[in-house]
């Protein structure tokens, strides 16, 4: 079933543990299959926003009976405690540090973690693991120890783990950070082939140009700009103002 809006964020304000606000009154909508870059200086709130899209924040999600509607809606599902599992199934998150996301002893076992928790049958799990590893070009790595992978391989293994859950939306937090040129190219090609909704938090403007059609700029927790990629990347003053260029 297709939805008019894949991700709907309305007036999202959030601070960790009652501390200062990390996100302030952030609102935007993303349509299915749209490819959006999330730009902003370090500490702008990009990672925190991505965690909200996966119902990982706030720590205690509002109950379905909550008086005020939750600020995040995914495929018409409000981010309440009732829908958290389904939202996590639909939005796949790739975290900044791949070591945190690779908890299986071998690559194959790690990729199987998500499908196992979808309660699929054994054949389907195996098929998904195999396909996900082919998608990220790690088909020969199923039995490889996850502790013995290069950074690029670790990132691709993490992506395989996410893809094996067949999410409609990918939310990626700095996927190209610390990768060598070959690793960046490999990851770019994989993401280029993804047909679902893509949200990419990154500092790499070249890859933003290659992979996305729209850019949202966050700074100091506020949404500062939201326009087509060429418009944002063509605005030198805006990029300078928000610390997006050297």
**Binding stretches for another protein (CB under 8 A):** 51, 54, 56, 85, 88-89, 92-93, 95, 97, 99-105, 109, 112-114, 116-119, 125, 146-147, 161-162, 165
**CB contact at 8 A, 229 and 214:** yes
Q: Distance between CA atoms of 114 and 120, rounded to whole angstroms?
A: 10
Q: Which is nearer to another protein, 73 or 146 (CB)?
A: 146
Determine whether 151 is exposed, middle or buried from the number of CB atoms within 10 Å of its CB (0-12, 13-18, 19+).
middle
| Torsion angle, alpha carbons of 76, 212, 198, 196, to 10 | 80
Q: Which is nearer to another protein, 26 or 102 (CB)?
A: 102
Q: Which is nearer to another protein, 83 or 88 (CB)?
A: 88
Overall size of the chain counted in residues: 246
Q: Which is nearer to another protein, 112 or 200 (CB)?
A: 112
Cβ 23 to another protein shortest distance, Å: 17
Q: Which is nearer to another protein, 38 or 160 (CB)?
A: 160
Q: Encoding tokens for residue 201?
A: 């938090």
Cβ 167 to another protein shortest distance, Å: 10
Q: Which is nearer to another protein, 172 or 223 (CB)?
A: 172
Q: Distance between CA atoms of 198 and 190, rounded to whole angstroms?
A: 12
Q: Encoding tokens for residue 75?
A: 């495929």
Cβ 109 to another protein shortest distance, Å: 6
Beta strand 77-78 with 21-30 is unpaired
Q: Which is nearer to another protein, 84 or 205 (CB)?
A: 84
Q: Distance between CA atoms of 19 and 100, rounded to whole angstroms?
A: 25
Cβ 239 to another protein shortest distance, Å: 30
Q: Encoding tokens for residue 59?
A: 């720590």
Cβ 101 to another protein shortest distance, Å: 4
Cβ 230 to another protein shortest distance, Å: 32
Map residue 121 onto helix, strand or coil: coil
Helix 122-135 to helix 107-117 angle (10° resolution) is: 130
Cβ 121 to another protein shortest distance, Å: 12
């Amino acid at each position: 079933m297709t939805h008019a809006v894949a991700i709907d964020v309305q007036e999202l304000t959030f601070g960790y543990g009652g501390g200062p606000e990390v996100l302030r009154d952030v609102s935007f909508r993303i349509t299915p299959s749209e490819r959006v870059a999330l730009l902003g200086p370090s500490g702008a709130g990009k990672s925190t926003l991505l965690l909200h899209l996966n119902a990982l924040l706030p720590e205690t999600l509002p109950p379905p009976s909550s008086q005020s509607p939750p600020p995040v809606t995914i495929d018409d599902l409000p981010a309440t405690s009732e829908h958290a599992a389904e939202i996590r199934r639909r939005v796949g998150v790739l975290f900044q540090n791949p070591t945190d996301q690779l908890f299986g002893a071998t690559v194959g076992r790690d990729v199987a973690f998500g499908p196992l928790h979808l309660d699929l049958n054994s054949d389907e799990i195996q098929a998904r693991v195999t396909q996900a590893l082919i998608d990220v070009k790690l088909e020969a790595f199923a039995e490889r120890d996850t502790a013995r992978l290069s950074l690029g391989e670790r990132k691709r293994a993490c992506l395989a783990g996410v893809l094996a859950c067949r999410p409609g939306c990918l939310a990626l937090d700095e996927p190209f950070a610390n990768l060598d040129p070959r690793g960046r190219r490999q990851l770019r090609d994989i993401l280029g082939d993804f047909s679902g909704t893509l949200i990419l938090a990154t500092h790499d403007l070249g890859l933003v140009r290659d992979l996305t059609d729209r850019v949202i700029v966050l700074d100091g927790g506020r949404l500062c700009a939201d326009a087509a990629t060429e418009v944002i990347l063509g605005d030198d003053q805006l990029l300078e103002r928000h610390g997006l260029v050297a």
